[in-house]
Amino acid sequence: MPHDPKPPPAKRFKPGSPFSLANKKPGMLLPKKGNASSQIDVQRKHLPIYQAKSQLIDQLRQLPNAVLIGETGSGKTTQIPQYLYEAGIGRQGIIAVTQPRRVAAISLAGRVAEEKRTQLGKLVGYTVRFEDVTSVETKLKFMTDGMLLREAIGDPMLLRYTVVILDEAHERTVHTDVLFGVVKSAQRKRKEHNKIPLKVIVMSATMDVDLFSQYFNKSPVLYLEGRQHPIQIYYTKQPQSDYLHAALVSIFQIHQEAPLSHDILVFMTGQEEIEALARTCRDIAKHLPETCGPMIVIPLYASLPPAQQLRVFYPAPKGCRKVILSTNIAETSITISGIKYVIDTGMVKAKRYNPDSGLEVLAVQRVSKAQAWQRAGRAGREDSGSCYRLYTEDEFENLANMTVPEIQRCNLAGVILQLLALGVSDVLNFDFMSKPSPESMRMAVEQLDLLGAVEQREDQVFLTPLGKKMACFPLEPRFAKTILISPDFSCSEEILTIVSLLSVDSVLYNPPARRDEVLLVRKKFISSEGDLITLLNIYRAFKKVSGNKEWCRENFVNSRNMSLVGEVRAQLRDICIKLGLKLESSLSELANVRRCLAHGMFPNAAELQPGGTYLALDTHQTVAIHPSSVLFQAKPAYVIFNELLHTSRCYMRDLCLVDPDWLQEAAPEYFRRKIHISKS
DNA sequence: CGTGACGGG
């Protein structure tokens, strides 16, 4: 199977100077894809992977592990599971295919069911959170990697499965990285216990090949040809000090020179930047000579309402240019057809983790080479295209090869808890493909220790009975702990609501243009006891009108996120019932709720200082109340907060007023130490 | 006095 990892030859251009067009001919029309089932077989046979079918089956039959490298469009994800099934490989159990995202798992299952001409949920099914479309007949199961991890807690050897296919492995999400270790150990254990072997197939784009192969006992790497069209890459001649300006200039150069039917996709870093550039583009486009043609500018980022996200898929009116300004959401999650030009600023907003302070910070930084290739690839999905990189070739060469795997950039408390629940005996030496730093491992263990989830004896970490229960919840450890202690305060119903509200995207809708209206309408929910109680009030009011959409609109509440809160809450409540927790409501007695929150979240406590700032008692950082908090003006002596946000300052968000005595009673020794230090 | 890249259970 041929494989050419060499990137296309590079050309240079300078924003603001004329550059030669890569392709003057108008975009070719593609043959329309039919949906009639008679055409499905024809389509399947036209996929590049079909040529290699018998060879692939022979290899996969005998190999316990394989790494499969295939470009987008190779058809590997839909075809390999079917090939295995049709060849009778792994028939004794289920073939699982994991995906980092829900939508991908759901749509792939739909596609494969269609190809097999069966009803979804029979032979082919999917499992994601809140949705299980499988049955006893299901042999090909698409699922999120997080879902398989959850299942592994009850079944560490994954005995229901004969084959696990880890797709999109190059994305290196936390879940995929943990799964690498889980399936590897399941393979070994099954061998030791003389169980049916587990076959593991890692699927990835053209990167990380050696790492994957090494990790899975030097397993062979199979290459699949893709159906990617050639992409011409351009670099700037000089480094650009202002990538936004460079992007603006490049957009209008292409706009002036390329046929209007060619769409442009620009990769940028965040919402604010995108909205600002969109405004500028629209302004400029208005004042261009008529020879240029009109331009439609579409912003794209995750927090955009779904209806507005859909706009990127509508073709622009004839004779109008479509320009999409996007975050990295268009790198993987959303695929837009018809993109002819990609402009890559070379920058991305990404999470960084400081294990010493335990603080996660969002920062604008340079992309990796792998990411730059992923972005460029978005220009060549249906036809040849061009990618304009707003940096020099030298700068490109100096980029990191790979994006640092997320597991090396995040708080590991949840991961460690999950591994312990899986029965991993020596967590500190868990066989990670890319080991997180010892400091961040230690930090996570300390956090779990503080919550009472683990005990440390002779350099070993053990799960406590409380920790075992905590692991049952699909939540951050501190939230699980708060729920588990809530029966002691007779307020589980309220705590379930608050935790659910904090574990989904914000239910508060804050359009900046209607700020005054928002403040006015929100007044009636505000509690002087803080943001968490305010949120509880909003949820109660929402329930009172049974989730009325009109009510949501009037009150600037995001109804979709609010419904999600309900789903999460129901799931958590079920887990509570299975664990035999006594569920009570404290109704109007909200001091109980705050006391419970103080006991569960005491590591996130802060104390007012004479100067009016706060001191985070755990890390002794100086912090401030975020201006969006209902306690912003009040400045109470002691608060707990849900999270720290590091922007212009270090802000606490989602606060709750607490009594210092509650903190003392929650963790006497800890606070004796902390408060002692803070006073000295 | 002023804000959150993207996912997932």
Query: How many angstroms separate the CA of A252 from the C1' of B7?
Result: 33
Query: How many angstroms separate the CA of A624 from the C1' of B3?
Result: 14
Query: How many angstroms separate the CA of A119 from the C1' of B4?
Result: 40
Q: Among all chains, which residue has been given the structure tokens 């460690």?
A: A416
- Residue A3 phi, psi (nearest 5): -150, 125
CA distance A617 to A613: 13
Letter string b/e over residues A185-212, b meaning 16 or more CB atoms within 10 A of that residue's CB: bbbebbeeeeeeebbbbbbbbbbbbebb
Q: Class of the A228-406 domain?
A: alpha beta
Query: How many angstroms separate the CA of A413 from the C1' of B6?
Result: 20
Q: Class of the A411-464 domain?
A: mainly alpha
Secondary structure letter of residue A82 according to DSSP: H
R_g over Cα of chain A:
27
**φ/ψ bin of A72: left (φ > 0), alpha (ψ from -120 to 50), beta (otherwise):** beta
pLDDT tens by residue, A490-516 = 999 999 999 999 999 999 988 878 888
The domain defined by A48-224 folds into Rossmann fold (3.40.50)
Query: Residue A646: enclosing H or E segment and its boundaries?
Result: strand A638-646
CA distance A49 to A78: 10
Q: What is the pLDDT of residue A358?
A: 72
Contact indicator for A522, A555 with CB cutoff of 8 Å = yes
| Closest nucleotide to A309: CA versus each C1' | B6
| Closest nucleotide to A149: CA versus each C1' | B9
Query: How many angstroms separate the CA of A577 from the C1' of B6?
Result: 33
| Closest nucleotide to A272: CA versus each C1' | B3
Amino acid identity, position A650: C
Select from A362, A321, A328 the least CA-distant residue to A344. Answer: A328
Query: Which residue stretches of chain A have pLDDT < 70?
Result: 1-38, 675-680
Query: How many angstroms separate the CA of A194 from the C1' of B6?
Result: 41
Letter string b/e over residues A148-163, b meaning 16 or more CB atoms within 10 A of that residue's CB: bbbbbbeebbbeebbb
Letter string b/e over residues A363-379, b meaning 16 or more CB atoms within 10 A of that residue's CB: eeebbbbbbbbbbbbbb
| Closest nucleotide to A476: CA versus each C1' | B9
Q: What share of chain A is helix, strand, coil (3-state, %, to 5)?
A: 45, 20, 35
| Closest nucleotide to A148: CA versus each C1' | B9
Tell me the three state secondary structure of residue A164: strand
Query: How many angstroms separate the CA of A145 from the C1' of B8?
Result: 8
| Strand B bases with any atom < 7 A from protein Cβ | 1-9
Return the nearest residue to B5, CA–C1'. A349
Return the nearest residue to B9, CA–C1'. A474
| Closest nucleotide to A628: CA versus each C1' | B2
Q: What is the pLDDT of residue A556?
A: 92
pLDDT tens by residue, A41-87 = 777 877 778 778 888 999 999 999 999 998 777 888 999 999 999 99
Query: How many angstroms separate the CA of A128 from the C1' of B4?
Result: 25
Query: How many angstroms separate the CA of A648 from the C1' of B2?
Result: 9
Query: How many angstroms separate the CA of A631 from the C1' of B4?
Result: 20
Query: How many angstroms separate the CA of A140 from the C1' of B9?
Result: 21
| Closest nucleotide to A273: CA versus each C1' | B5
Query: How many angstroms separate the CA of A269 from the C1' of B4?
Result: 12
CA distance A616 to A618: 6
| Closest nucleotide to A99: CA versus each C1' | B8
Q: What is the pLDDT of residue A23?
A: 28
Q: Which two tokens stand for residue A7?
A: 């990137």
Return the nearest residue to B2, CA–C1'. A627
Query: How many angstroms separate the CA of A282 from the C1' of B1?
Result: 32
Q: Which two tokens stand for residue A263?
A: 């769409």
pLDDT tens by residue, A166-179 = 999 999 999 999 99
| Closest nucleotide to A515: CA versus each C1' | B2
Return the nearest residue to B1, CA–C1'. A627
CA distance A365 to A396: 13
Select from A544, A482, A553, A448 the least CA-distant residue to A511. Answer: A553
Query: How many angstroms separate the CA of A276 from the C1' of B7?
Result: 26
Residues of chain A with CATH 1.10.10: 411-464
Return the nearest residue to B8, CA–C1'. A146
| Closest nucleotide to A471: CA versus each C1' | B9
Inter-residue long-range contacts of A14-19, CB under 8 Å, 24+ positions, other chains counted: A14/A236, A14/A237, A14/A238, A15/A236, A15/A240, A15/A245, A15/A246, A15/A249, A15/A250, A15/A253, A15/A390, A16/A249, A16/A253, A18/A253, A18/A257, A19/A234, A19/A253
Return the nearest residue to B6, CA–C1'. A329
Residues of chain A with CATH 3.40.50.300: 48-224, 228-406
| Closest nucleotide to A505: CA versus each C1' | B4
Return the nearest residue to B7, CA–C1'. A101
Query: How many angstroms separate the CA of A650 from the C1' of B1?
Result: 13
| Closest nucleotide to A129: CA versus each C1' | B9
Query: How many angstroms separate the CA of A478 from the C1' of B5?
Result: 24
